[in-house]
Chains A and B, each alone.
Chain A
Amino acid sequence: MNWFTRTLTSSIGRKLVMSLTGLFLCSFLVVHLIGNFQLLKTDSGEAFNAYAKFMTTFPLIKFISYGLYAGILLHIIQGILLTLENGKARPVAYAYSKAGDTSSWASRNMGLLGTVIFLFLAGHMTQFWGRMHFGEMPMVNLANGDSVKDLYKITMEAFAQPIMVALYVLAMVALAFHLLHGFKSAFQTLGLTHKKYTPTIETLGYVFAIVIPAAFAVIPILVFLMTNK
């Protein structure tokens, strides 16, 4: 290993990777959410399908998406390694521990929350992303005559089922707790603390952690209500 890889595999280096990939994934959440809002338009999926087509075919977006896959994988792999190594640092557990007195539940359970989000992601990607890229898709014609894969139909059918909506909302709750600690933690790891800015970053983190997952969760609920009228 050279100095660079040694740095990235040190305890602080691993945390650096976690924070940078974490913040990158936060930016992706925003982009994904904007796309999801197209589902609520009453245009029988015209806008959403056009958007889906753009996101899967536009070269620049395709390029960025590889960065995204790498980011997700790095965040997961580093997260697993960190959790395992941190567990090894305390081979004998306390018989009696009141950890809740001194730290938040979310901060102590990032691995667990991350696992829930990962399981959701695996299912979510098979259901939509995998099918969109590799599976059989119904086709539909856009107003401009283009024939595109009808992701709108697939999505509407999925969230007509209460179980799908429930699992989705559950995952968003896990995401909210994950972000509640993760957002501000990323800045602390990067050493970006300052008397003037840290309070703002923390408030922003709490708002982000609640508003973004809540907005995600609202969409399948609305789809469910719309399709089961």
Chain B
Amino acid sequence: MEHTGRSYTIKVWRQKNAQAQGSIQTYPLKDISPDMSFLEMLDILNEQLLQKGEDPIAFDHDCREGICGMCSLFINGRAHGPLTTTTCQLHMRSFENNETIFIEPWRAKPFPVIKDLVVDRTAFDRIIQAGGYVTVRTGSAPDANEILIPKAIADEAMDAASCIGCGACVAACKNASAMLFVSAKVSQLALLPQGQSERKQRAERMVAQMDAEGFGACTNTGACAAECPKQISLVNIARLNREYLSAKISSDNVEEYVPIK
């Protein structure tokens, strides 16, 4: 493997815990291969910190293959860095030798920092809990293709379902709006026959929970879709607007929604 040994200046957000005051710290880093992934670069930096007896930088990651949505990081002013991939799929070849690299956590009121670069994204879980489910018949497994779904619809629903809940859309949005995420989750079910029974309640409740969590309102800047590693499209947001407004007009629910805590 070619080993050119690049050097970087890493400027990273350090914060002891949720209550502590954080700040940007600077770490010089040498001998980094351009073939390394971004997270491997952080692993190396952390080993060096450990050897010096310092606290390693806390950051989220899990699959490291772009499918789980755990890795986050706002890198050089962009969610997941300069590419539209997840951070685990970003490599050091995307950065010039001697470049200064800023690494910050997702910034949003509903995503409070737990430590360093790790934020609490359970707000997304609560939004799903509010309505991102379908009622199914239990018992023996149904036959495949028992419910016929046109290929085009199945594809559209699948596109929406590919959202991995990473939160890059919120991080990238100037309003920290979660509309792309919520629209993907509402769309994947609204498009399919299995999602019809809770269709109206789903749109109403998920939006109400989203608002209660403190995410901003969508101003259609399009930054979310431009950063989404799964190419969730703005068409879903338009669909969510339709779903929500028509549900509000036609559903028989007049009760005030009690947010999940």
Contacts and interface: CB of A to CB of B under 8 A. Distances in A.
Contacts of A96: 76-77, 102, 104
A156 B254 CA distance: 56
B175 A90 contact: yes
Contacts of B102: 95-96
Contact of B211 (A11, A93, A189): A11
A215 interface: no
Nearest to A92: B107
Which range holds the interface residue count of chain A?
Answer: 35 or more
Interface stretch (B54-62, B91-99, B242-250): B242-250
A91 B179 CA distance: 19
A3 B254 contact: yes
B42 interface: no
B241 interface: yes
Contacts of A6: 256
Interface of B: 11, 13, 24, 74, 76-78, 102, 104, 107-110, 172, 174-177, 179, 207-208, 210-211, 214-223, 226-227, 234-235, 237-245, 248, 253-254, 256
Given A11-B207, A104-B221, A188-B220, A89 B215 contact: yes
A86 B217 contact: yes
B108 A191 contact: no
Contacts of B214: 88-89
B217 A3 contact: no
Interface in A72-97: 82, 85-86, 88-97
Report the 6 A-B pairs with minimum CB-CB distance, sorted nearest first.
Answer: A98-B77, A191-B242, A89-B216, A86-B175, A11-B217, A102-B226
A90 B176 contact: yes
Interface stretch (A12-20, A41-49, A59-67): A12-20
Contact of B174 (A101, A108, A190): A108
Interface string A20-63: 00000000000000000000000000000000000000000000
B161 to A, nearest CB: 20
B218 A193 contact: no
A199 to B, nearest CB: 13
Nearest to A185: B220
Given A94-B77, A96-B102, A101-B78, A85 B216 contact: yes
22 contacts: A3-B253, A7-B245, A11-B216, A12-B240, A13-B248, A15-B217, A86-B217, A90-B176, A91-B109, A92-B107, A98-B77, A98-B78, A102-B78, A103-B174, A103-B226, A107-B221, A184-B220, A185-B219, A191-B239, A191-B240, A191-B245, A193-B238
Contact of B74 (A2, A10, A82, A94): A94
